[in-house]
Structure 1
């Protein structure tokens, strides 16, 4: 089947008119080797489904001045936490247009019209996209609450694409953008070094729902002799409270054993360790998680005696 695909179609999507001008015949475009993701757009049917194919299908639709944005731009900038899915459903690919831009709505595509300056636009892998900092700003300001925006900025920061302070500075030059207050709050709460989106969700639950002080994220703990004790996901230094998020990989026997040994070492030094999974950050279990966090902090604050640990910046 692959050999039947015109070379010009390999791995990409193009408009029918462009293909006809390049010598591809109608009969070849009607063959089973060619997909038609949108009216007038043809692509190689041999390309495996995935994020890159979804993004590539939209590129031929871009009008002059239009670029790919949102989760798709974040993925191209290296933030692979964004796979275009949420709750088992596919998210539309965001197309960002200048204020005067025009594009016909289509299933699977969301259009956002907004001011796009030269430094808001770049190119990644041949795809015109919003810059990393503008991508973070848009994802944050289009979130209905700051905590979801924090996940976006954390992800881009973890990928080395942009930072929270950079998003804030970019926003200050565009204070009239819709959603600016939400974006400002989200970027202000973002931190470097986050290892997973669920870790960010736990941190936001810690701050917003439990009302606990903003924790340190992935800071090293050592004993007074400088020996490494662990690098907890979250740390309330005042209370000596450690919060750990256990992803699916922590269920493996070897990883779980290492977790238990590390926890015992932290507890020997007077730290209170609270462990959580993806179940604990679901809305149905937030009340229980809040109670556990507050109880753990109370126990931590009640500890007496000199500390035998310290934080390494």
Structure 2
């Protein structure tokens, strides 16, 4: 990343005034410049450019940008329509003003909420995710945001719950509390969370297990479905655009056949179902669950009890305890 610089009359620490007015340099904010060749679409570069505007005395990057900088790469700085979101600077006072690409939050900011990550002043991850949840559109969106922060292990449910207890009276805190009641530390993608919420809120069914590994009775790992109703014997999977690849689709069909051969019913949610789940995927889920319940008298060839050699990665605490080698090996299938 390229840190913005101020003009330098000698042209050493930065461009001269004349150079700054030329095409070789791009102004990122008042008095700060980067070379025009620097890609302003890269989220990390946008964050660095915004952070250069922070007051020297007090403040930090917050919201999606702080989560991204902490390693939660799902937060790419774009909304659901692909439009760029501003980088929010938490400064408590009004030393600077919002400008294109940069928003300013002047909410109270205790010192415990500030930290430094890889040389950049940010708020804590727990404050950043609560900020995103408090100002998002609704409780479902808040749950997606929290699930994705949990997926990247930058926060845990307990850490967020403890922080939310300190936010009585803050704007949007009700959305944080609702998300805490619906969140899942083992959701592997935002669309899995969307499907889970349709499953529970729209279809009115019991909360399914998320990414719980399924084994045959000999202890062999059969698969790890996005959602699993272990009582009914129903597997739920979200199929996004990557599942349209012919090789991937073939593997999906084989896995579905394997689940059914062991006594598990299967239901799929597709990208086109997201806009109106109550009229698309919900009837499909209910019909599949009815079929699954009708098969409950049949012998089950599957179990969710893991063999002794299985390494649990279903919680933030368990994942934080993994070695770097284990993380690379055991978590490589999760969505980035």
Question: For residues 151 and 19 of structure 1, what CA distance do their matches in structure 2 show?
Answer: 50
Question: For residues 99 and 244 of structure 2, what CA distance do their matches in structure 1 show?
Answer: 42
Secondary structure of residue in 1 paired with 2:197 = helix
Tell me, which stretches of 5 or more residues in structure 2 are unaligned?
307-336
8 A contact 2:9–2:16 mirrored in 1: no
Residue number in structure 2 paired with 1:240: 233
Residue number in structure 1 paired with 2:88: 94
Displacement after TM superposition at 1:153 (Å): 1.5
Residue number in structure 2 paired with 1:5: none
1:206 aligns with 2:195: no
Name the structure with the higher helix share. Answer: 1
TM norm structure 1: 0.88
1:304 aligns with 2:296: yes
Give the direction of change, closer, same or farther, for the CA distance of 1:23–1:202 in structure 2 (3 Å limit). Answer: closer
Name the structure with the higher strand share. Answer: 1
Give the direction of change, closer, same or farther, for the CA distance of 1:145–1:225 in structure 2 (3 Å limit). Answer: same
Displacement after TM superposition at 1:21 (Å): 9.9
8 A contact 2:149–2:155 mirrored in 1: yes
Question: For residues 68 and 236 of structure 1, what CA distance do their matches in structure 2 show?
Answer: 40
Residue number in structure 1 paired with 2:313: none
Q: 2:18 aligns with which of 8, 14, 27?
A: 27
RMSD: 2.3
8 A contact 2:7–2:14 mirrored in 1: no
1:42 aligns with 2:36: no
Question: For residues 286 and 111 of structure 1, what CA distance do their matches in structure 2 show?
Answer: 38
Count of residue pairs the alignment pairs up = 302
Secondary structure of residue in 1 paired with 2:222 = strand
Displacement after TM superposition at 1:18 (Å): 11
Q: 2:47 aligns with which of 34, 55, 72?
A: 55
TM norm structure 2: 0.83
Question: For residues 89 and 23 of structure 1, what CA distance do their matches in structure 2 show?
Answer: 31
Q: Which runs of 4+ in 1 moved over 6 A?
A: 17-21
Once the two structures are superposed, what CA deviation does each residue of 1:183-232 show, in whole Å capped at 9, x if it has no partner? Answer: 01212322223221111111122222222211110001112222222110
Residue number in structure 2 paired with 1:81: 74
Give the direction of change, closer, same or farther, for the CA distance of 1:236–1:304 in structure 2 (3 Å limit). Answer: closer
Question: For residues 236 and 19 of structure 1, what CA distance do their matches in structure 2 show?
Answer: 68
1:272 aligns with 2:265: yes
Q: 1:127 aligns with which of 120, 123, 134?
A: 120
Tell me, which stretches of 5 or more residues in structure 1 are unaligned?
1-9
Give the direction of change, closer, same or farther, for the CA distance of 1:26–1:188 in structure 2 (3 Å limit). Answer: same
Question: For residues 9 and 91 of structure 2, what CA distance do their matches in structure 1 show?
Answer: 22
